């Protein structure tokens, strides 16, 4: 069944089976290198002795930058920048193999690329400004218990990331092809309707590609009361509105990566569905 005009479209695949379970195998064979420069967190200017009115304006700009109201009061570690969170090279899609049935692939020898300066225990989170097409950039955090949520996740349905469509297939877990995928999961930094942290991602990428690493980070922080450097970068081709996947890096600080250390690319695909990444349009494969 197909409905247009902004309403739900639902598709049925004969003989399709619902996927179940979670992929908890965190190590995959195959290494694909990516040369990168140093990754530099975005800085904040230090105000001088300003008049009270200017200080109030500055506080408001930090609270609600570029009109993004997010989900209300933000964590004390939240940082919004006026540009990119870091200056570096996103992994090239030319260096990523075609999807062949695995939800993610290791890159750079599975070694995260955090600088020595990054490797400290000061919790923070930072989100890039949207680009000229409205697309998200890198999200970067040093995840600790001080950033984690104290309550349930809030409604995020008001956010429509680039390429967003509501389409259903009966063989997709939960039926919806696309999720509003957090770059940094709510369970890690308590971000809700933050448009700089939500992209259009398939259910498969969300649950099979990203979730195992989100849970790895969350479990370590909760159980060991440690900190994990965590960076997620959506990778777009040209002016596409839907990312081809996300580059994910993690590193446990207190034990120098002994518990958590990964660098992977998760594919934004859905088995049985073809996707036009330029627009988000999609159809049954075959």
Domain limits, the chain = 75-284
Q: For residues 110 and 263, is the Cβ–Cβ distance under 8 A?
A: yes
Per-residue model confidence (pLDDT) at position 175? 97
The CA distance from 166 to 3, in Å, is: 10
- Spans in the chain with pLDDT lower than 50: 1-7, 12-76, 82
| pLDDT, tens only, 102-138 | 999 999 999 999 999 999 999 999 999 999 999 999 9
| Topology given in CATH for the domain delimited by 75-284 | Extracellular Endonuclease; Chain A (3.40.570)
pLDDT tens figures, 189-213: 999 999 999 999 999 999 999 999 9
Distance CA 88, CA 255 (A): 26
DSSP strand pairing (78-80 vs 124-127): parallel
pLDDT score recorded for residue 8: 52
Q: Which pLDDT score, from 0 to 100, does residue 151 have? A: 82
| CA–CA gap between residue 164 and residue 180 (Å, rounded) | 8
């Amino acid at each position: 069944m197909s409905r247009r005009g902004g309403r739900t479209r639902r598709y049925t695949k004969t003989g399709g089976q619902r996927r179940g379970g979670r992929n908890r195998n965190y190590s995959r064979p195959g290494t694909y290198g990516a040369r990168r420069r140093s990754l530099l967190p975005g800085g904040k200017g230090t105000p001088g002795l300003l008049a009270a009115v200017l200080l109030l304006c500055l506080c408001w700009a930090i609270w609600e930058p570029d009109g993004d109201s997010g989900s209300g009061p933000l964590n004390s570690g939240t940082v919004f920048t006026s540009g990119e969170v870091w200056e570096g090279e996103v992994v090239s899609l030319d260096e990523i193999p075609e999807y062949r049935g695995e939800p993610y692939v290791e890159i750079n020898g599975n070694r995260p690329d955090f600088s020595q300066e990054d490797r400290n225990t000061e919790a923070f989170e930072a989100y890039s400004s949207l680009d000229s097409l409205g697309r998200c950039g890198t999200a970067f955090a040093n995840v600790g218990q001080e950033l984690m949520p104290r309550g349930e996740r809030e409604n995020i349905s008001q956010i429509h990331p680039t390429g967003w469509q509501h389409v259903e297939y009966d063989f997709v877990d939960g039926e919806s092809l696309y999720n509003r995928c957090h770059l940094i999961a709510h369970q890690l930094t308590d971000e809700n309707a933050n448009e700089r942290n939500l992209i259009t991602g398939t259910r498969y990428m969300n649950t099979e590609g990203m979730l195992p690493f989100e849970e790895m980070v969350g479990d370590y922080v909760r159980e060991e009361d440690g900190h994990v450097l965590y960076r997620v970068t959506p990778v777009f081709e040209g002016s596409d509105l839907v990312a081809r996947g996300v580059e994910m890096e993690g590193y446990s600080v207190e034990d120098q990566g002994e518990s958590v250390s990964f660098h992977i690319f998760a594919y934004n695909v859905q088995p049985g569905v073809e996707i036009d990444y330029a627009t988000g349009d999609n159809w049954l494969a075959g």
